[in-house]
Structure 1
Amino acid sequence: MPSQKLASFGATVVTYNMVTRPMYQALDADKRTEEAVLRRGKVKAERPQIVTPHFLSRTVGFGEEAQDFMRELIRRGQADDAGILYTYSNEPLQMEIISSRPEEVAERISKRIDSESQPLEAVILGVDELWDVSLMKFIFDLTNSSGPKNAADFVRSGRMKMDNGVPIDARLRIEDSLRQVQDGNLDPAVLHRELEAWQLFDEYQDRFFRALKGRGPLI
């Protein structure tokens, strides 16, 4: 695993080295030559967002079972409880075949990462036909190990507090988006979707239209 956790207030890019035993070696009864498949890529973790189940229900398509779960959260009064949402994207870079045992390849990469002090690089021993699942397992473990630190950072910063059913983190994100729209650095549709998902468009609509026109103070 990388020695550095996911950042709480910004994006994190992790370089991964996925090492697997090629599928075709299972058909080689003699196995005279050991080979390994090395896939390199980058996983980008966007800045973690503080959200609520209500917010997610308006932004993500849910099936009937998930809707039942949401109704149960509402019944319990937990639909506006704050939680942390992590989103990722994967950028494959290269793939090569190496004449060596996968365990040996992984060990060499691990030693190189340590010697170069790369805190955001990882080596993963995976399964060739399920290499993408192996990558998802790595992301899951990285998220789990980073979650407690991220949550503590959010609590200390006050971003986990709620303001009329909306996390302070979301309101700060909206403020930043308003400035970006006014400066022409953000598609207004992105901000509009965020406001609608939080059911805040009526509250922010005057400032939204001023930002859209690029004139007047946002306060």
Structure 2
Amino acid sequence: MPSQDDIQYAMETTRVLHEPDHRIQTFGETRFEFQLLSEPMDQVGKVRIRTGEVEAMKPRILRPEPYRDIELEGFDENARARFDRMVEKLKEQGHNLAFLQYGFRFKRGAVNEELIHDPIESVRERVLEDIRRTGNPARAIIEGVDDTWEISVLKFAFEMILRSHEINTFDLKRKGLI
């Protein structure tokens, strides 16, 4: 299991290079594809590309205990502990996490890995050029840490919640739910 320092490092260095065009839907499921680029620790000039998807299931009920009821399906057995540590760090940094009480559920699908023998800069540019060319509105390009790559995916999902919060709040108020 990664240490607190490993998690902090992953949170600080993870970058979303390209965001999906849409946000998390208030009353439906939302699927995001991701390509996560990372450099294996002891392999100079190589980049691991993980390709997969994360699905945010629609919130079902309002939860009284905020982030504890966020479900993480398809992540490894240590994902809950890593997620809890990430949330604690965000609280310490002064983030308002009240929106987590809506019982989010994240499901990670199968992940494919490919090892490329090129510098990260070249791979990054090719992947970004590909997304500009194809224009896939559901794809995120993330650059993260190889050993704690799931933290990078969780951070991306969390950032999508933050970016979706305003529109979700508007939708909930319009329906008289808050």
Q: Normalized against structure 1, the TM-score is what? A: 0.54
Question: Relative contact order (C-alpha < 8 Å, sep 6+): which is higher?
Answer: 2
Asked whether the 8 Å contact 1:16–1:42 carries over to 2, the reply is yes
- RMSD of the alignment, in Å? 2.8
Q: Tell me what 1:111 maps to.
A: 129
Q: State the aligned residue count.
A: 133
Distance in 2 of aligned mates of 1:104 and 1:154: 44
Asked whether the 8 Å contact 2:51–2:113 carries over to 1, the reply is yes
Q: Percent identity?
A: 28
Asked whether the 8 Å contact 2:66–2:101 carries over to 1, the reply is no
Q: Normalized against structure 2, the TM-score is what? A: 0.65
Q: Tell me what 1:42 maps to.
A: 53
Asked whether the 8 Å contact 1:37–1:102 carries over to 2, the reply is no
- Segments of 5+ residues of structure 1 without an aligned counterpart are 26-30, 61-81, 161-219
Could you say what secondary structure the match of 2:42 adopts?
Answer: helix
Could you say what secondary structure the match of 1:148 adopts?
Answer: helix
Aligned-residue offset at 1:114: 2.4
Aligned-residue offset at 1:106: 2.5
Q: Tell me what 1:96 maps to.
A: 114
Distance in 2 of aligned mates of 1:87 and 1:104: 35
1:146 matches 2:164: yes
Distance in 2 of aligned mates of 1:58 and 1:138: 19
AA matched with 2:25: A
- Segments of 5+ residues of structure 2 without an aligned counterpart are 1-18, 72-99
Asked whether the 8 Å contact 2:28–2:58 carries over to 1, the reply is yes
